[in-house]
Amino acid sequence: MSDNPVVVVTGASGGIGRAVARAFGARHCKVALMARGRKGLSAAAEDVRREGGTSLPLEVDVADYDQVAAAAKRVEQELGPIDTWVNVAFTSVFARFSDIRPEEFRRVTEVSYLGYVHGTMAALNHMKPRDHGTIVQVGSTLAYRGIPLQSAYCGAKHAIQGFNEALRCELLAEHSGVRVTMVQMPAVNTPQFTWVLSRLPRHAQPVPPIYQPEVAADAVLYAADHPRRREYWVGASTVGTLLANALAPGVLDWYLAKTGLKSQQTKQPAPADQPANLWQPADGPHGHDFGAHGEFDDRAAPRTVQLWASRHHGLLAAAGGALAATAAGVWRRTRA
């Protein structure tokens, strides 16, 4: 890798993507930022430059492969060979499955799943001939465990998981120097809860424990540096949920049916004027820059023990810490 690596981040205008772009900028990387909204892109590009990196903002809808491929070609021409590609871009609908229209479900799938496929294809077109490069898929606990009110998003994350595993096996069979890895995220304090299309009666919220976007960015950078591991699990909720789903999926189904709808909504009514970024960016001509953080700074943790444990003591230690944290949370809820 060069002294100033070239990094592509999709969904870079807000949330995790914005934090990831900023973190790579702090490493003095050349960062290509892909997203639809011009205002968020401009602010993200300034963030990268302020941190010491070089930025190239590109207005791209990842649901359109031709746009992604053209953007990747421009990155190579203007910044140099792509070293790392991070897929983050997504959209979703907060609603019961019966309240989601077919065209909305298709759109979520095209952005949140096929967007990752398109990004990976474009990256591999440049990386494979050089036999060098890393692709990081930003996943979620929901890649393994579906929850109510997020059927479209859960379907996309499950799909990414399967597609990425298949690709990883193919690259290993080819003895390729290109690496792919996936980072499974917990609940993160991002603007998605204010700009995702919602048909919920109350304001959407992440299910605690909640982490700041910088925690997610730290995990992505670590995964990019150590891509030989197939995936990284971030946060007590992620590891605990995955283990619970593996050990007692029926019990978890019952628990989520009982608690999952209420826990994803605050007590406040859903704003009547809340933007929806499904078809158009929320930071478009009539919108504003949303930044990396959402509305839950007072409840979001700035670090995670599980990521530290996975770095220093492996998955078993991370799982042990997660189980302890999960058990403590269950005990507190039982006592409440």
CA–CA distance, 149 with 143 (Å, rounded to integer): 15
CATH level 3 topology of 6-335:
Rossmann fold (3.40.50)
pLDDT at res. 312: 58
pLDDT at res. 173: 98
Q: What's the pTM?
A: 0.91
pLDDT at res. 239: 74
pLDDT at res. 23: 98
Residue 125, CA distances (Å) to 41, 115, 177 in order: 25, 15, 14
CA–CA distance, 64 with 71 (Å, rounded to integer): 11
pLDDT at res. 289: 95
The tens digit of pLDDT for each residue in 229-277 reads 999 999 877 878 878 888 888 999 999 999 999 999 999 999 988 999 9
Residue 211 is a catalytic residue: no
The first and second tokens of residue 235, run together, are 């946060």
pLDDT at res. 286: 83
pLDDT at res. 284: 85
The first and second tokens of residue 336, run together, are 């409440």
CA–CA distance, 301 with 216 (Å, rounded to integer): 11
Low-confidence ranges of the chain (pLDDT < 70): 1-2, 305-336
Side chain identity, residue 115: G
Would you call 98 helix, strand, or coil by DSSP? Answer: helix
Residue 331's DSSP bridge partners are none
pLDDT at res. 325: 52
pLDDT at res. 330: 41
The first and second tokens of residue 7, run together, are 């990094």
Catalytic residue among 153, 211, 222, 232: 153
* Of 53, 44, 66, 47, residue with least CA distance to 7: 53
